[in-house]
Amino acid sequence: MSPDTDAPHLQVLHAGETCRSICHAARLRLLVDAADYFAAVRSAIVRARHSVTIVGWDIDSRLELVPGGAGDGYPQPLGDFLAAVAAARPALRVRILAWDFAMLYALEREWLPAFKLGWRSGRRMHFRLDGQHPPGASHHQKLVVVDDRLAFVGGIDLTRSRWDTSAHAPHDPRRRNGTRQPYAPSHDVQVMFDGDAARAVGALAAERWRQAQVVGRHAAAQDIDDLQDTSLADAAAARAQHGSGAQDNASVPNHGGNPSNPSDSNNQDDPSNQDDPNNQDDPSDQALWPPAFAPDIEDVWLGIALTCAPHTCRTGCQQIHALYRAAIGASRKTIYIENQYFTASALADALQARLARPDAPTVAAVLPREQTGWLQSATMGTLRARLYRRLRESDSLGRLQLYAPWIEGLGDAFINVHSKLMIVDDELLVIGSANFNNRSMVLDTECDVALEAAGDARVRRAIAAMRNGLLAEHLGVTRAQVEAAFERFDGDIHRVIASLGGGARTLSTLEPSVSPGLEQWVPESAVVDPERPAVPDEVVRQFVPGRGGRPVTARLLLLGLCALFAVAMTLAWHYTPLAQFVSLTRVGEAARALAATRFGPVLVVGAYALAAIASVPVTVLIVCAGLLFGALAGSLYALAGSLLAALVSYAIGRWAGREAVRRRAGSRLNRLSKRLGRQGLAAVVVLRLLPLAPFVLVNLAAGASHIALRDYLLGTLIGMGPGIVLGTAFAQQLAAAVRHPAPGSVAMLVAIGVALVGFSVALKRFLGGRQ
């Protein structure tokens, strides 16, 4: 039959608009939670013949896909497993493409993944980091493609803190990451499918690989040489563009638009376009499909939808955004959402419009009880509360309700809902890597898969069964009970949940709210959940408005004078007796002698405070304290001096008043003062942790804003204390390593440096890390 007669008449999926392409899949299975997904993907890789392509936000070579052993004869850790499989099959190629992540994730990821994953099996196993995206974006797709015949798409990376069973047992001993640290229960979903749809995902993975390979910053020499090597993934991209005979052309229906459009697969001379004997494998793909996982449905059409921001190597697309809007607008009875976030102001108007109508559907969103991390909870949690409040204003019929899964025995912990899924009216299933937030709609690199029934009762039953299975897991009941409840309550999902909940495992209602202080402090979504690439200056202005800068000539003159001073000091140090009289040892001895006198500590603290008030950078003062007095005494002196300087300049600001300080400090004071006056302790902590304004300016603004002295000093202590302790310890150990460069002192210096970086990373994670 022709493609037009084979394919159903689709309502929401339109190639080139709400999806990239629409392709046939012989089988599809929803894999609920990472235990099933990891077992399935390991089983498929064991059966691979010529290619395994892994594309992810993160990957960890220490991950055990099947804790306790898979019984397949291969090693347990992911890196060793992939290397062993590649070594056992000379024709097999393994390609791993991970996001070249922002440094704020450095200590929560595996170190040296290229060494551990990319240099094991010669030319059969390759690892690359991909940083080709606009500022502030990320590569968030989570794909695995085996032999370009079996694909896995969803929200689960092959990395730490993901594995869990659907039981989500509160104290499961198998739930430990690569460093053997336990982590909280995690709920997630992935979809497995084969056929032409899997080949389309293979073409996408090949396209990503080529883009990173040609322009990536981490391409190794052997990877550049490998550009023209034969690869089934590359061949799939070529076939998707040009076709490989009438059968291939007929396999993908023409629903408008270009079904694949790989960026550079039009080179007919590329060896990857030539016939590969490995392509003659069983076309039924029976050998690849993991036998332990029966398909949920067979013979379906899938839409492959993407998000990617415009960049040097590609044009942008917002198909997932269009798909979500179209699905929400077409909904009639029920919208079921599972997601890590619920902050997409880019979708708010579509939801508001649908909820405001008399025939509004019931909307149930299953979310984590809290966002992970204090500051992420404050920021993304605040945006969630704002969106919820905004939708409630349009929801006069009370059709919207948020839920959080709960299990008896978790205590203060909670299930981290990490899935990215939406089911509409038993007619549409959308699953993939895109969160329900702005950046996933317009900024990050995402991939979702959509299954639409278009009136086909067989597909509708399968979609409903998948939704009912998810609800059964959350409510601790059977799928049959959920199906019966839907029949009894005529499809009202809220009544279904209420009737089956309340046990040892349930869905509790979620009413997100935020304190007035946080409401004022947290900026709009432009910074926390952006809808376009970040511009650093604009991010700073969200917190601290700029002031008129010095004229260019004045700044150049200042820069020149600083350079001349540095040159003069260098010459004096080498060609005069200055180095003999001004050495770190002599200065340290003099400082310690002064501190040992009766009023020495008072003089040291006073000198430190005067220097800080005189705008000497406190970071310099902290390092000096550590160099001169050591870690313990230096920390005490630095902390006391910082608090004294903060108190004195606070008093000056309070005495002078806002207007007087504003005339001196410029336009930056106004917003600082307002924030400090409104948010109190939280604002002081953040301004101490993040150097968004000079130390003295914050102090003056705090005094002028009449913030409570207790909150001000406590915020200063909390915000500066950890940095002071680590900074002075690092300075002391640096001096020791310079004087006595023994392995032990150098190792200690490195350890403290790592702790400093770790503190910075932990701080930035509070700002809302992205998974």
- 306 domain residue, yes or no: no
Q: Is there a single domain that holds both residue 512 and residue 553?
A: no
Any residues with CB less than 8 A from the CB of 224 and at least 6 apart, and which?
A: 213
Q: Are 96 and 118 in contact (CB under 8 A)?
A: yes
Give the separation between CA 253 and CA 208, rounded to whole angstroms. 24
Q: What is the pLDDT of residues 661-687, one digit of tens each?
A: 545 444 444 454 445 444 456 656 666
Instruction: Identify the band that residue 143 occupies on the pLDDT scale cut at 50, 70 and 90.
Output: very high
Number of domains composing the chain: 4
Quote the tokens at residue 58. 């993160």
First-to-final CA distance of the chain:
43
Structural domain contains residue 284: no
Residue 731 pLDDT > 80: no
DSSP secondary structure letter of residue 119: S
Q: Is the pLDDT of residue 501 over 60?
A: yes
> What residues contact 427, with CB distance under 8 A and at least 6 apart?
11, 452, 453, 454, 460, 463
C-alpha distances (whole Å) from 135 to each of 29, 101, 314 are 36, 12, 15
pLDDT confidence of 73, banded at 50, 70, 90? very high
618 and 695 Cβ atoms separated by less than 8 Å? yes
Tokens at 336, concatenated: 């079921």
What is d(CA 257, CA 19) in angstroms, rounded to the nearest whole number? 9
The alpha carbon dihedral of 330, 335, 339, 344 has a sign of positive
Residue 305 domain-assigned?
A: no
Amino acid of residue 355: L
Question: For 66-75, 188-197, 606-615, 652-661, which range has the lowest pLDDT when averaged over its residues?
Answer: 652-661
Report yes or no on 194 lying in a domain.
yes
- Say if residue 570 is in the same domain as residue 597: no
DSSP assignment of 702-723 equals HHHHT--HHHHHHHHHHHHHHH
pLDDT for residue 748 is more than 50: yes
Query: Virtual CA dihedral for 763, 532, 448, 151, nearest 10 degrees?
Result: -70
Give SS3 for 450.
strand
Give the end of a domain, one of 231, 266, 301.
266
Is a pLDDT exceeding 90 seen at residue 251?
Answer: no
Contact 428, 450 (CB under 8 A): yes
Say yes or no: 372 and 514 in one domain.
Answer: yes
User: In this structure, are 420 and 519 located in the same domain?
Assistant: yes
Distance separating alpha carbons of residues 349 and 364, to the nearest angstrom: 17
**Is pLDDT larger for residue 132 or for residue 80?**
80
pLDDT, mean of residues 118-136:
72
CB atoms within 10 A of CB 743: 7
Task: For residues 619 and 742, state if they share a domain.
Answer: yes
131 neighbors 140 (Cβ within 8 angstroms): no
- pLDDT tier for residue 138 given thresholds of 50, 70 and 90: confident
DSSP state of 167: T
Structure token pair of residue 46: 């064991």
Q: Which helix (H) or strand (E) holds 328?
A: helix 319-330
Residue 683 amino acid letter: A
**The tokens 């950890």 sit on which residue?**
722
- Say whether both 558 and 621 belong to one domain: no
* Backbone phi, psi, residue 610, to 5°: -60, -40
Question: Residues 10, 152: one domain?
Answer: yes
With residue 438 as reference, give the H or E element that holds it: helix 438-442
Identify whether 299 is part of a domain: no
pLDDT at 255 over 50: no
For the stretch 358-396, pLDDT in tens is: 999 999 999 999 887 655 666 777 888 889 999 999 999
Q: What's the pTM?
A: 0.66
Rounded Cα–Cα distance for residues 28 and 150 (Å): 10
Asked if residue 302 belongs to a domain, the reply is no
**Band of pLDDT at residue 527, cut at 50, 70 and 90:** low
Q: Are residues 255 and 366 in the same domain?
A: no
Instruction: Say if residue 558 is in the same domain as residue 468.
Output: no
Would you state the pLDDT for residue 567?
55
Q: Does any domain span residue 726?
A: yes
Instruction: State the pLDDT at residue 581.
Output: 54
The verdict on 554 and 489 lying in the same domain is no
CB 310 within 8 A of CB 316: yes
C-alpha 309/C-alpha 100 separation (Å) is 16
What is the C-alpha separation between 668 and 3, in angstroms, rounded?
63
Considering the domain architecture, whether residues 35 and 109 belong to the same structural domain is answered as yes
**Region of poorest pLDDT, from 183-197, 336-350, 522-536, 749-763:** 522-536
Residue 132 and residue 313 in contact, taking contact as beta carbons nearer than 8 Å: yes
Residues of the domain holding 357: 317-528
What are the tens digits of pLDDT across the range 285-339? 678 999 999 999 999 999 999 999 887 767 889 999 999 999 999 999 999 999 9
CB 188 within 8 Å of CB 366: no
Element (H, E) at 744: helix 743-766
CATH number of residue 100's parent domain: 3.30.870.10
Verify that 574 and 624 share a domain, yes or no.
no
In a domain, 286, yes or no: no
